[in-house]
Amino acid sequence: QLHLVESGGDSVQAGGSLRLSCAVSGLTDEINYMGWFRQAPGKEREGVAAISTARYVTDYPDSVSGRFNISSNSDKNMWYLEMDPLKTEDTGMYYCAAVERRWFAYIPLRPDVYKYWGQGTQVTVSS
């Protein structure tokens, strides 16, 4: 069982930056993939970053590639999403998620792959 808690959401102007944090507790050694997702009002939840915790291989959609970065501390119980520069279209509720004991030939950005979710943290980017 895993417990995830996000923090760091805020209201910022376009061109600014934010670092979101995700505190993970429980059987963290069994996590195979971590992901960050966002959901804007009226839109489906979409993956914005994902990582293989064993190989530290990452993947990002084109919409955020080069601007977002997923990382962790050495214990892998804190995960971060650095976002710079932010755009107005980055506005949404951001969630971290984890999945354990599953292996993929790719780094999964699909929400349905992930089993454990945090409660979300709001990011609002204004022009």
Residue 101 has pLDDT above 90, yes or no: no
Q: pLDDT band at residue 23, thresholds of 50, 70 and 90?
A: very high
The predicted structure's pLDDT at residue 27: 86
Q: What angle do CA 35, 24, 18 make, to 5 degrees?
A: 60
Compute the C-alpha angle 11/17/20, nearest 5°.
Answer: 75
Distance CA 95, CA 93 (A): 7
Which run of H or E residues covers position 33? strand 31-39
Backbone angles phi, psi at 83, to 5 degrees: -130, 115
The rounded mean pLDDT for the chain is 96
Q: Would the pLDDT of 102 be above 90?
A: no
**Close Cβ partners of 112 (under 8 Å, ≥ 6 residues apart):** none
Structure tokens at 49: 């970053």
Phi, psi angle pair for 30, to nearest 5°: -90, -5
